[in-house]
Amino acid sequence: MRQLILIFLLTFTLSAKSISPNEVYAQAMLISDQTHYLLDYYNVKHDHEGIIARTAVNTKLKQRNVWQMTYEIAIKINILRSYHDLPIVKPVNIAPELNLNPALVYEQTQRILTEIKIFQYRMGIKNKEFKVKKYTQKTPLDVFNLLRKISASLDELYQTKFTPSYVFGETMRVYDDLTTILEHLKIKDNTIPTSKNDKATPKDTFNISMRILQKIKKVQFSMGIESVDFSVFRKEDITPSDVLL
C-alpha cells in the first residue's frame, strides 16, 4: 500500500504542469490591468509611460529576483489595505533558494490577484474581469520590469508617502538572517552599531544598501555562487520605495 502511495505521489509530481515566462507575464499583466483600474477609480493621475521609463532595467537577473518583486507588491498591497483601515494580511514568504522554481512566481501572482479582488470587494468597488492575453518570447527580465512598474504604480495609489518604517521592518529581517549565519559559522559579532543619523536621507540608505550588496557579491564569488549585477539600479533621485527594492 505504501509503495502504491509513493508511486501515485511521484506520478503526480512528474505530471505537474511547467510554467513559462510567457504565462507568468500574462498574469502579471492582469495585475497591471487591475492596478490601472483602481487608479482610474480613485481618479489618480498616472504617468504610465514615465513610470516604465524610470523603472525598466536591463541586466541578467535570477528567478529569485523576480519573486522578490512579487513579495514587494504584496507588502504594498498591505500598505494600501492599512491606508483604508483594512486588516493586514501577512505576505507569503519562502526560505532562500539559489535556483527558485519559476512556478512559485506564477503562484505568487495568483495570490496578488486574489488580494486585489478582496480589496475591491471590501471597498465596494465593482470587480472588472480582464481578458488573459497571450504572449511569446517573454523572459524573466520582462516579467521583472512589468512587476517593478506595477510596484511603482501602487505607490501612486496610496495617496500617501511610502514611509521608511516599512523599509526598516525588512531591514530587520536581513539583520536576523545575518545573525543566524554568524551563529552557524560560530563567528562572534564584534561590530559596533553606528550612531543614529537623524539627517539621513533615502539616498544615504540606498547607497549603504548598495555597498552591502557589493560585499554579498564578494562572498558569493568566494563560494562559487553566480551573483547578480545590481549596479543598474543606481540613480540620483532615491525614494524609500527604491530602498525597499
State pLDDT tens for residues 124-178.
999 888 999 999 999 999 999 999 999 989 888 876 556 666 677 777 777 777 7
pTM passes above 0.85: no
- Out of 66-70, 112-116, 167-171, 235-239, the most confident range is 112-116
Q: Are residues 148 and 169 in the same domain?
A: no
CA 104 – CA 106 distance, rounded (Å): 5
Name the band, by pLDDT with cuts 50, 70 and 90, for residue 189.
confident
168 lies in the same domain as 132 = no
* Same domain, yes or no: 118 and 153: yes
Average pLDDT of every residue of the chain = 81
How many angstroms separate the CA atoms of 185 and 206, rounded? Answer: 28
pLDDT value at position 95?
A: 66
Give yes or no: residues 154 and 81 share one domain: yes
Q: What pLDDT does 120 receive?
A: 95
Per-residue model confidence (pLDDT) at position 229: 72
> To the nearest whole percent, how much of the chain has pLDDT over 90?
29
Which whole number is the average pLDDT over 197-215?
78
235 vs 153: which has the higher pLDDT: 153
Residue 3: pLDDT band (50, 70, 90) is low
One domain for residues 124 and 57: yes
Same domain, 23 and 98: yes
Q: Are residues 220 and 144 in the same domain?
A: no
Pair (170, 142) in one structural domain:
no
The string of pLDDT tens digits covering residues 71-120 is 889 988 988 898 889 998 877 777 666 677 888 899 999 999 999 999 99
| Residue 108 within a domain | yes
Answer yes or no: do 235 and 182 share one domain. yes
Same domain, 225 and 156: no
User: What percent of the chain has a predicted confidence (pLDDT) above 70?
Assistant: 87
Question: What is the span of the domain harbouring residue 216?
Answer: 162-188+202-245
pLDDT at residue number 15: 59
Range in 9-13, 48-52, 197-201, 205-209 with the lowest mean pLDDT: 9-13
Q: Report which of 32, 19, 29 is spatially closest to residue 63, judged by C-alpha positions.
A: 19
Q: pLDDT tens digit string along 41-57? A: 999 888 888 888 888 88
